Amino acid sequence: MTQAELALRLGVSRRTVRAMESGAYAPSVTLACRVARELGHPVEAVFQT
């Protein structure tokens, strides 16, 4: 899945997805849960560095 596709599914900008990936932005718990669900990973994985 591309950053653009994930951003569209989450209802956020591609810039937000890129910032989350680089560690420059820590998502809210709600957004982290949505990211985890879309990617098929546990929510803890979203916060790992």
Mean pLDDT, rounded, for 35-43: 95
User: Is the pLDDT confidence value at 49 over 70?
Assistant: no
Judge whether residue 17 has pLDDT over 80: yes
**Residue 41 carries which DSSP code?**
S
Does residue 11 carry a pLDDT above 90? yes
pTM for the whole structure: 0.85
Gyration radius from the chain CA atoms: 10
Number of domains in the chain: 1
Task: Give the domain range for residue 32.
Answer: 3-47
Neighbours of 44 (CB within 10 A): 9
